[in-house]
Amino acid sequence: MAAHTPSGTSYVRAQAVAPLPPPLVESGAIGWLRTALFSGPLNIVLTILSGALIVLIVPPLLNFLIFDATWSGADREACLARPDRPVVGACWAFIRERLGYFIYGFYPIAERWRVDAFFVLLTIGIIWLLAPTARRRTLGAIYFFVVMPVLACVLLLGWPAIGLPEVSTTQWGGMLVTVVVSGVGIVFSLPIGIVLALGRRSRMPLVKLFSVIFIEFVRGVPLVTVLFMASVMLPLFVPEQWSPDKLLRALVGVALFASAYMAEVVRAGLQAIPRGQYEGAMAVGLSYWRMMGLIILPQALRVTIPNIVNSYIALFKDTTLVFIVGIFDFLRTIEAARVDPKWATPVTSTTGYAFAAIVYFICCYLMSRYARDMEARLTTTHRR
C-alpha cells in the first residue's frame, strides 16, 4: 500500500476515484434540452417561437400532403370536395396520371424506353465518376465525357439507320430537358470556367482582354436575355437551314452563362492560394501548365468546392428559365398540366407546385450532401 504513495502518507488516496456520471440536469435528455434549446433568455424565446412555428406549419402541411390527399382517381371528380369529404388535400392522382408527361414531355410513348436507357447510362456515369470507392476512374471519365454523350445523342435523337426513329428535340420535355440542360451546363461550365479564370489572371494582354470582356459581358446580362437572344435574334440573322436547333441554342446559352460565373468562382480560389505556392512551383522549374495542373488548381478547386456546388445548384434551378423560349422543362410541364380541364380543381395547382418543390429539393439536397462528403474527404490534410 505504502509503495503506491510516494510520500508515504496514509491520508493521500492511492487510486483515482472512478469519475461520477455528470449530474442528471447536465446530461441526458434534460441536459441536452438545457444546453441546446434553453441556454439563455434569447434562446428560450427563439425555441418557443420556432416550436410554435412548427406546430403551426407542420400538421396542416402533413394533412394536406398525406392525410387528406387523394391518391387515386380517374379525373377531377376524385379531387373535388364532396359533402361526405369536405376537406380535400393534395391531388396525387393527378401527378400519378401525368408523371409520364412530367418525365418525358412529348417524347413518343413507344420510344420512352430510350429516355430510361439514357437515365441509366447517366446514373452509371455519375456513380463511376463520383463514388469514392469507384475503380479505374480514368476509364470512367472517358465513358462519361466521350462514350456516354455519343450514346445519349444516338439514343435520344434517334438514328433511323439502326432502327431508332428520329425524335426531334421539340418533342423532348419534362425531367429529360431539365437533366440535359443542367447536365450540359454543369459539365461544360467547369472546364470553360477554369480556362476563363486562368485567362483573366494571365499576363498575355489579348487573352486577358478576351476573358474579361466575355465574363463581364455575360455577367452583365440576365440569363433570360441570353436565352432570348439565342432563340429569338439568332434565327432572324441566320437562314433557316443553318439555324441551330432550339434546344441546342438554349444549351449553348446556359453553358456559356454558367461558365462566366464559374470563372469568377475559380478565380477566387486561385487568389486564395498563397504566393509562395506559385513561386515554389516555378522554383522547381515547372512549366505554366504543369504548375497549374499539379500545384495550384488542385488546391484552388478544393477550397472552392462549396462555391462550385453552390453555382451548380443555382444552375440546376435556373434551367427552369428555358420555358421563356418555349422549351418545356420539368416545371413547365407541371404548369401546363395543371390547367388541363380534366384535372383542374382548387387543389391541382398547389399539388403540382408541391410536387415540383419536393423533386427540386431532393435533387439539390443530394448535390449539396455529396459536396459536403467530398469536402470532408479532401480536406483531411489542412483544415481551414
Residues that bind another protein (CB under 8 A): 76, 81, 97-98, 100-101, 104-109, 168, 170-171, 173, 228, 231-233, 235-237, 239-240, 243, 246, 323-328, 332, 335-337, 339-342, 344-346, 348-349
**Helix (H) or strand (E) run with residue 270 in it:** helix 246-272
Question: Do the beta carbons of residue 258 and residue 281 sit within 8 Å?
Answer: no
User: Closer CB to another protein, residue 170 or residue 307?
Assistant: 170
Question: Do the beta carbons of residue 179 and residue 122 sit within 8 Å?
Answer: yes
- Identify the CA nearest to 310 among candidates 269, 270, 271, 272: 269
User: Closer CB to another protein, residue 245 or residue 373?
Assistant: 245
Query: Which residues lie closer than 8 Å to 67 by C-beta, 6 or more apart?
Result: 89
User: Closer CB to another protein, residue 8 or residue 326?
Assistant: 326
Give the other-Cβ count within 10 Å of 193's Cβ. Answer: 23
User: Closer CB to another protein, residue 151 or residue 325?
Assistant: 325
Record the cell numbers describing residue 362, joined without a space: 431532393
User: Closer CB to another protein, residue 127 or residue 229?
Assistant: 229
Rounded CA separation 300/294 (Å): 11
User: Closer CB to another protein, residue 325 or residue 374?
Assistant: 325
Rounded CA separation 270/292 (Å): 10
- Identify the CA nearest to 122 among candidates 169, 176, 164: 176
Rounded CA separation 258/360 (Å): 19
Question: Do the beta carbons of residue 100 and residue 79 sit within 8 Å?
Answer: no
Angle at the Cα of 28 from the Cα atoms of 34 and 39, rounded to 5 degrees: 10
User: Closer CB to another protein, residue 259 or residue 329?
Assistant: 329
Question: How is residue 25 annotated by DSSP?
Answer: T
| Closest approach of another protein to the CB of residue 45, in Å | 34
| Closest approach of another protein to the CB of residue 85, in Å | 13
| Closest approach of another protein to the CB of residue 256, in Å | 19
User: Closer CB to another protein, residue 97 or residue 318?
Assistant: 97
| Closest approach of another protein to the CB of residue 94, in Å | 10
User: Closer CB to another protein, residue 105 or residue 140?
Assistant: 105
| Closest approach of another protein to the CB of residue 222, in Å | 14
Q: How far are the Cα atoms of 125, 128, 136, 139 from residue 142, in angstroms, in the given order?
A: 10, 11, 10, 5
| Closest approach of another protein to the CB of residue 255, in Å | 20
| Closest approach of another protein to the CB of residue 276, in Å | 49
The neighbouring-strand residues paired with 164 are 159
| Closest approach of another protein to the CB of residue 245, in Å | 10
Rounded CA separation 305/382 (Å): 15
| Closest approach of another protein to the CB of residue 312, in Å | 26
Cα within 13 Å of Cα(173), Cβ side: 24
